[in-house]
Each structure stands twice: as C-alpha cells, then as structure tokens.
C-alpha cells in the first residue's frame, strides 16, 4: 500500500496534556472508542451547525488546522427536558393552571443547573395550559437519542430534528457552570467532519448537510418553544487534528454519505443509515491507515452470514477479525520503528551526545519527552525507546486500540452470535445501509458482492475469497453457501429479487425503478 505522508504540522502546543503524539500522528486527534455512532453523528452536526453560521460549512478555506467552532449549550432546554423531576408531581397536585405554573417556575428557579438567568417564566406564555406543556415534554423525551442509557441529565441528547435540538456535551462544575466534556463527545465527530471536508464529495455534500442543520419542521419548532434566544458558547473549540489533507478513505466516506442523502428518504429516515455508515468509515479509516503505516496488504473483512452450524467461513471470519484488531497496535509499534530506523537516528546514536540528539528527534516527531517529568529513566537512547514503546502501546490499548471492536459491534458488523468469539457477521441494518449507499436502482447480486469487496474489502462470496485467500484455506463450497445465505437474507428483507435461476438482483427499495 502507498506510504502515508503527514502533511500538516504537529500542533502539540495546543495539547500539552498529551504525553506523546503517536496515535494522533497516525490517525488524528482523536478516534475515541467510547462514542456510539449516534453520538458521533450528533457531534458532527454540532460542528456543521457552527460552520454554517460562519458561512464555511465543509470548507476549511485552505487552513487545515485548527478546526474552530462554537457550539450551543442550550442549558434551559436541557433543564426543562431532563432536570425537571417535579413536573408530574405538580401536574397531579395542582389542578389550577396558575398555581401549577407558579410552583413549577419557583422550583426551576431553585433547582436549575448551569443557568445564569434562572427565569423560566417565558414558558408559561407559550402554552395554553400546564397540562399541554407536560404532554409536550413527555413526548419530546421519547425522542431522546439512546434513551435507554443511564447518562447523567446534562449528557442526554434530543433527536436532531433541526438547529434548536443541537448542543454539545457538558458537565456542571462545582461553581454551577457548564463545562465542555469529552467523554460522550470524544472528538470523533469532529474528525468525521474534517474527513467530509477533505473528501472529493465535499461540494456536493454541502447543501445536504446545510439542510440537516437548518431544517425548519414542526418538531424543531416545538423544541424552539422551550427556549429563549441564546448565543453559542463564546469559547471556541479548536483542538481537533486530522493529519492528512486527502485520503481515499475520505473520498469513500463522502461518496457513501452523498448517495444516502441523494435518495431523499422521507423525513429523517436517512439519519440512521448515515450514523451507521459514518462510524463504519471511521473504523475503515483506522484500519486502512494502520495497514499503510505497517506497509501491510490491503485489509479484508471476511464476513459470515450466520449459519445454523459452525462453518469454515465462521472460522475464517474469526481469524480475519483478530488479524484486523491487531493492526492498530502494530501501527503504533511500526511508527516508532520508522523513527529509530531513520538515517538521522542512526547517525545520532553514533554521536558522543547520542542521548540529547535522540531526545531532540523524538521531541520534533512526537513531542516527547518535553521535560524531566516525562521521562526519568536511563539517559540511553535504547532505554528511552523501550520506555516509549511500552507506554505508547499501553495508552493505545486504553482507547484508540478498542475502536475496531467497539465500532464494529455498535454498527452491527462484529458479533458473537452462535459462538464465543468475535467475528464479522453483518446484521440487517448494516446490510440495508450498504445497499442504499451502493445500489442506485438495482444491481446484479454478484456485481454487488464485488462492489463491497472493491470498496471496503468485504468478502462474502466465492470469487472475492479466492482473490485474498491461500489455496490451502480456500473452500469454494463454503463461500457459495455463504453467498446463498446472504441472498436469502436480502430476499426476506425485500431487497433482492431473483428473476431466473441464473439472475438475482439487489434492489434499492427507495429508487424510482423499484417502486
């Protein structure tokens, strides 16, 4: 695979809390394993909404760092929706509207958090009764993204009906001030936004993303009724870093998301597919870049279509998953090797001041060690590198090293179903999203399998397996059966039609030709 070139200067001065820039140099700041696909999408929309306000959505204007944006916090809305435990008690106790409103506004004034001006009196002027207001809140709460989670109230998020529903993740400080949090929003959504900016489809994507963050619809209007005019947080976010100005993975992402938007699905139906494929492409990006850093072969994803009994494809899928899961750690190790194998390093270790010269190289390449507290071991280049390798791999395994497993399971690609080991076994939701992104009207089944292989490295059928596998592992009948099971799955989903014994077509049910 083609070697990567880090085209953007290392911005470690803005990230002095990061001990060494290795994960960040390879993939950016940052890929975060704790983020779900929906939270990645919501974080992306917050960046896009801010950029749209500034008139530069999906356009970096040639400045690749820093990404600057000012999100909304919408603390009054969040208090009303998620920090409003008293409402059902007031509704039950006070039948008189005036009394109910007085009790509620008094309670909110005492109990609201992270709000400078605790006056909620404006709400009563916008509703005909307290009961009507209560019903709206109950209804909107059902539109909470991932409502089954036990996140604190300040980290709960509404479905993105429009601009009025977009806000960042916050915590509440001891001084009762909202503070930006990077646990639920870990910056992977920011990274995704930059990937879209640098994709070949950025110009075509722009109006679609604009439409999402400016949508005027009854749901957004209802949410707006719960808010007063609010300015975005004045503190700019500016820490996200993506090290490549362009990459085939960015182009692939842009093409797929554009195809989904161009289907013009009813109302908000496209969002669930966009969230799945966005996380899928971030996972692929990490996988492909890892392979490029290690000078490895193109990654392949051997998928089992779940069978009643154990099959050869299942074993191969387990092996494929395990091999790909190890790629990112190998990339970290090989990245360190690329420094120590360089001519400059070889020359430095032969010098009389070898330690100081090697330390200077590491400072320039990964911003480590910056001071005495960063490294207190032996003043020897070999000892320093051993310490670095161990520490870097330990850090990597805490978050970035878990992305492949975490994202794979979240999008329905990785599963333990039918076995005690993880392997690739795509579920119906992911298969549907891939069809919508790749099939305009209809596509011959074998052509569809080849397209998934060419674009993503996904192996499902016999011809693709034969390309990537050794003769000793390859079993044509096993992969023929795997493809047959997929055909049956797609048929049961209403997304495949067999016209004759020799011809089956994958269908996009939203295309005009399939209606």
Q: What is the number of other CB atoms lying within 10 angstroms of the CB of residue 401? A: 24
Backbone angles phi, psi at 382, to 5 degrees: -65, -45
Residue 370 pLDDT:
87
Mean pLDDT of 82-111: 94
For the entire predicted model, the pTM comes to 0.95
Residue 234 pLDDT:
67
Residue 322 confidence class, pLDDT cut points 50, 70, 90:
very high
Q: How far is CA 91 from CA 76, 127, 140, 223, 458, in A?
A: 20, 14, 17, 21, 55
pLDDT tens track for 124-135: 999 999 999 999
Residue 311 is classified by DSSP as -
**Helix (H) / strand (E) containing 170:** strand 170-172
d(CA 502, CA 202): 40
Residue 513 confidence class, pLDDT cut points 50, 70, 90:
very low
d(CA 445, CA 443): 6
**Helix (H) / strand (E) containing 423:** strand 423-424
Above pLDDT 90, what percent of the chain? 84
Extents of the domains making up the chain: 29-242, 297-515
Flag the least confident range among 247-251, 266-270, 459-463: 266-270
pLDDT tens track for 265-308: 988 999 999 999 999 999 999 999 999 999 889 999 999 999 88
Residue 326 pLDDT:
97
pLDDT(111) > 60: yes
Mean pLDDT value across the chain: 93
**Helix (H) / strand (E) containing 301:** strand 301-302
């Amino acid at each position: 695979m083609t070697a990567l070139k880090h085209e953007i200067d290392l911005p470690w001065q803005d990230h002095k809390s990061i001990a060494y820039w290795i994960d960040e140099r390879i993939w950016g700041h940052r890929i975060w394993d704790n983020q779900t696909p929906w939270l990645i999408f919501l974080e992306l929309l917050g960046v896009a909404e801010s950029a749209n306000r500034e008139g530069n959505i999906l356009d970096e204007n040639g400045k690749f760092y820093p990404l600057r944006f000012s999100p909304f916090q919408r603390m009054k809305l969040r208090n009303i929706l998620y920090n409003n435990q008293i409402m059902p008690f007031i509704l039950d106790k006070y039948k008189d509207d005036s009394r109910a409103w007085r009790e509620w506004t008094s309670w909110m004034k005492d109990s609201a958090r992270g709000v400078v001006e605790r006056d909620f009196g404006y709400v009563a002027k916008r509703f005909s009764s307290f009961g009507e207001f209560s019903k709206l809140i109950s209804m909107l709460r059902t539109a909470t993204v991932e409502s089954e989670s036990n996140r604190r109230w300040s980290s709960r998020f509404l479905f993105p009906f429009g601009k009025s529903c977009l806000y960042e993740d916050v915590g509440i400080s001891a001084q009762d001030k909202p503070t930006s949090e990077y646990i639920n929003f870990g910056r992977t959504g920011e990274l995704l936004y930059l990937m879209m900016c640098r994709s070949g489809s950025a110009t075509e994507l722009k109006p679609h993303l604009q439409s999402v963050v400016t949508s005027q619809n009854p749901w957004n209007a209802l949410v707006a009724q719960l808010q007063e005019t609010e300015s975005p947080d004045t503190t700019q976010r500016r820490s996200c870093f993506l090290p490549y100005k362009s990459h085939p993975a960015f182009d692939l992402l842009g093409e797929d998301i554009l195809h989904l938007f161009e289907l013009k699905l009813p109302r908000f139906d496209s969002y669930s597919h966009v969230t799945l494929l966005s996380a899928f492409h971030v996972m692929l990006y990490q996988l492909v870049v890892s392979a490029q850093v290690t000078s490895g072969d193109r990654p392949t994803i051997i998928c089992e279509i779940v069978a009643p009994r154990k099959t050869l494809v299942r074993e191969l899928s387990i092996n494929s998953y395990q091999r790909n899961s190890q790629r990112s750690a190998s990339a970290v190790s090989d990245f360190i090797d690329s420094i120590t194998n360089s001519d400059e390093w070889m020359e430095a270790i032969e010098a009389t001041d070898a330690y100081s010269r090697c330390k200077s190289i590491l400072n320039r390449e990964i911003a480590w060690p910056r001071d005495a507290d960063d490294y207190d071991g032996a003043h020897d280049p070999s000892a320093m590198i051993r310490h670095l390798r161990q520490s870097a791999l330990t850090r990597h395994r805490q978050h970035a090293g878990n992305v492949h497993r975490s994202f794979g399971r979240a999008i329905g690609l990785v599963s333990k179903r039918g076995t005690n080991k993880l392997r690739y076994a795509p579920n119906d939701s992911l298969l549907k999203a891939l069809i919508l992104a790749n099939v305009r009207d209809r596509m011959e089944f074998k052509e569809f399998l080849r397209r998934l292989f060419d674009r993503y490295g996904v192996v499902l059928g016999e011809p693709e397996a034969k390309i990537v596998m050794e003769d000793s592992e390859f079993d044509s009948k096993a992969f023929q059966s795997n493809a047959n099971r997929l055909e049956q799955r797609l048929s049961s989903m209403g997304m495949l039609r067999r016209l004759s014994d020799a011809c089956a077509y994958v269908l996009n049910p939203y295309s005009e030709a399939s209606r």
